[in-house]
A and B are shown apart, each in its own frame.
Chain A
Amino acid sequence: MSDDPQTGPSRRAFLRHSALAGAGLVAGASVARAADPDPLITEVQPWASAFGDPVDATPYGMPIEFESHVVRRNVEWLTESTASSINFTPIHALEGTITPQGCAFERHHSGAIELSKPDYRLMINGLVETPLVFTYEDLTRFPRHVLTAFCECAANGGMEWGGAQLEGCQFTQGMIHNMEYTGVMLRDLLAEAGVKPEGKWIYAEGADASSNGRSMPLEKALDDVMVAFFANGEALRKEHGYPVRLVVPGFEGNMWIKWLRRIGVYDQAVESREETSKYTDLMPDGRARKWTWIMDAKSVITSPSPQAPIRHGAGPLVITGLAWSGLGKVTAVDVSIDGGNTWVPARLSGEVKAKALTRFHFDLNWDGSEMFLMSRCTDETGYVQPTKDALRAIRGVNNVYHNNAIQTWWVKPDGEVENVEIA
């Protein structure tokens, strides 16, 4: 056991004292006393006297103006064209697990197309007994299912492989959204066409110019892949594939084909552009992994974070974050305030669902000193989220995709927060 004050028992003792066991621990803290009465209380405010907006003012509402920072953001220099590009979910400002569709990230390869339900067609062809064409109305007549799943871009955090680059979890972890989907199971559509025994792979492509065709093994297609038309209670947004997209729980976002127009059944993988040139992961020996479909266990503290500094001073502090795994349910999230020397389990808040975002909270009595905040997710397979160094030791720095490393936030005594790497 070290006597070093930074790593030894005193540091641990600090952490132990800092983690609130319950509200009782703060009861002794002095409560500020107002010197003068607060006019927001003592004076009648306009909203307590006059009318607010009538019920016919807003048939479909937008967030109140004060929340205008909770929007998708683009980083111009990341791509050469905004039609084949990415934007980022404001996860630093959200709570719970459901992503509001209006600020859920977008990734297109030839823009967000407008495809009406009357114009919509879905074809199933290839190694099937009967190639079929469905209209949108046909799809609405299949038995429906509901599932909640995260859609994480394979490139989420990809800019961070070589170091700490962007300032804010919106930018470093925000290529993700999590919605409650309703749709029909792909297996039910395939049954209607009748997959022949030689059919081993399906190939799904979209109606847009990029088509985004991807292959996946028939086993996955018959397991939990959904052909979805509702998200978070309403139709998909145009930019998320209206009127029909593929939902592929646990798999990289690129495979969640939007504006889905065709499912081909083949005896081999197509090895399309999006699974050869792209979404293959270069390794140190110059070879590359292909078919890295699953998104591994991952987490991030969403506040405090660079876009969500601590402005309230020392004392009770809510640490909140997201954890997820493409291999199943999150079983634990540990939090460290000292750069990974000491870890304490966080609370998993709300219902934990497989292959879906999970919210965690960790209540701290912050003493106002510098912290190196980290979170570490464990999933039901026992897999523990690795450090970036542990991943780079195996993969090098040119993997591009699948960065599920532990994120470090450097919290300064003034409450400002930085994206850093530490040694």
Chain B
Amino acid sequence: GPALADKLGLGRPALPEEVAAWDLAVLPDGTGLPEGSGDVLTGEEVFAEKCATCHGEFAEGLDAWPVLAGGAGTLTDARPVKTIGSYWPHLSTVFDYVHRSMPFGSAQTVTTDETYAIAAFLLYSNGLVEDDFELSKENFTTVTLPNADGFYPDDRAQSEYPLFTVQPCMESCRSAPPQVTKRAIELNVTPEDPDGRPAGSLPLVTAAAPAAPAE
């Protein structure tokens, strides 16, 4: 296969310090977890300092910022509330994402121990551990999130493609004339040009009627 092609000798070996600096990923089985630990109360302090201005003191979310706790049992509701507790499958993702990409606007400023503590606090906020819980590299994989079994790999090849891979109707396909059931214009939430048309509407290019010839 192509992976067996001759090497060109480009690039140079990555040093262990370089790999350690950039490969921060944590996998669901705990691969990639650094040494460290943190408890709920420490996490509450760090969260109050670094996270709560957007996500709320209790991780409930302020204004339109993401809600990190709550929403348990809402996944079949008309408007599901998808949070770490109600939706996320793996604690590894919480650690990994917070450590690498939060706080929003000043990422990679939380230490590994702070990240363990924040993760412990988020478990507490979601009602999943007691307030004396300490999360560490050692006990990390004993935590199972409520929606761990809530996902399945893409099944469209079985559940959709056979239904949609059929000779399409070309004539007399409708049993009744079309009836309009939804109009975007009634919501009126699209950005507008000054004349009230949808923003970016094409300008008029139709030739104006010729002006009356000058006398």
A 265-277 binary contact with B (CB < 8 Å = 1; else 0): 0101111110011
Residues of B within 8 A of A341 (CB): 171-174, 178
Q: Are B164 and A390 in contact (CB under 8 A)?
A: yes
Q: Are A342 and B173 in contact (CB under 8 A)?
A: yes
**Which stretch of A226-234, A355-363, A378-386 is in the interface?**
A378-386
Q: A132-B14, A209-B107, A289-B154 are in contact. Are A170 and B200 (CB under 8 A)?
A: yes
A-B contacts, CB under 8 A, total: 321
Q: Among the interface residues A126, A306, A338, which one has the most CB atoms of the partner chain B within 10 A? A: A306
Asked whether any CB of chain B lies closer than 8 Å to the CB of A349, the reply is no
Of all chain B residues, the one with the shortest Cβ separation from A311 is: B206
Residues of A within 8 A of B189 (CB): 75, 77, 165-166
Asked whether any CB of chain A lies closer than 8 Å to the CB of B88, the reply is yes
Q: How far is the CA of A167 from the CA of B186 in the complex (A)?
A: 10
Shortest distance from the beta carbon of B115 to any chain A beta carbon, whole Å: 14
Q: A306-B198, A307-B201, A343-B169 are in contact. Are A273 and B75 (CB under 8 A)?
A: no
Q: Are A271 and B63 in contact (CB under 8 A)?
A: no
Q: List residues of B (5-53) whose CB comes within 8 Å of A's CBs.
A: 5, 7-8, 10-14, 18-19, 22-23, 25-29, 31
Q: How far is the CA of A69 from the CA of B191 in the complex (A)?
A: 13
Residues of A within 8 A of B215 (CB): none
**Which stretch of B93-101, B116-124, B130-138 is in the interface?**
B93-101
Q: How far is the CA of A222 from the CA of B96 in the complex (A)?
A: 26
Q: A171-B190, A272-B25 are in contact. Are A131 and B177 (CB under 8 A)?
A: no
Asked whether any CB of chain B lies closer than 8 Å to the CB of A29, the reply is no
Q: Among the interface residues B31, B153, B164, which one has the most CB atoms of the partner chain A within 10 A? A: B164
A 284-300 binary contact with B (CB < 8 Å = 1; else 0): 11111111111010000
Asked whether any CB of chain B lies closer than 8 Å to the CB of A48, the reply is no
Residues of A within 8 A of B7 (CB): 191-192, 194
Residues of B within 8 A of A381 (CB): 161, 165
Q: How far is the CA of A124 from the CA of B150 in the complex (A)?
A: 32
Shortest distance from the beta carbon of A60 to any chain B beta carbon, whole Å: 23
**Which stretch of A20-28, A35-43, A241-249 is in the interface?**
A35-43
Q: Are B170 and A343 in contact (CB under 8 A)?
A: yes
Q: Are A69 and B175 in contact (CB under 8 A)?
A: no
| Pick from A6, A109, A410: contact of B177, CB under 8 Å | A6
Q: How far is the CA of A123 from the CA of B20 in the complex (A)?
A: 11
| Pick from A37, A83, A134, A385: contact of B10, CB under 8 Å | A134
Residues of A within 8 A of B127 (CB): none
Q: Are A125 and B168 in contact (CB under 8 A)?
A: no
**Which stretch of A49-57, A316-324, A415-423 is in the interface?**
A415-423
Q: Are A340 and B29 in contact (CB under 8 A)?
A: no
Asked whether any CB of chain B lies closer than 8 Å to the CB of A250, the reply is no
Q: Are A423 and B179 in contact (CB under 8 A)?
A: yes
Shortest distance from the beta carbon of A264 to any chain B beta carbon, whole Å: 6
Q: A296-B156, A338-B178 are in contact. Are A382 and B101 (CB under 8 A)?
A: no
Q: A110-B107, A167-B190, A268-B28 are in contact. Are A312 and B151 (CB under 8 A)?
A: no
Of all chain B residues, the one with the shortest Cβ separation from A188 is: B5
Q: A273-B93, A286-B150 are in contact. Are A420 and B172 (CB under 8 A)?
A: no
Shortest distance from the beta carbon of A402 to any chain B beta carbon, whole Å: 8
Q: Are B90 and A307 in contact (CB under 8 A)?
A: no
Residues of B within 8 A of A1 (CB): 172
Q: A268-B29, A418-B183 are in contact. Are A66 and B203 (CB under 8 A)?
A: yes
Q: Are A270 and B25 in contact (CB under 8 A)?
A: yes
Asked whether any CB of chain B lies closer than 8 Å to the CB of A329, the reply is no
Residues of B within 8 A of A166 (CB): 184, 189-190
Ordered by A's residue number, 7 sampled pairs between the chains whose C-beta atoms are within 8 Å are A12-B171, A165-B189, A276-B88, A282-B75, A286-B75, A341-B178, A422-B180
3 closest cross-chain pairs (CB), A and B: A339-B178, A286-B75, A209-B107
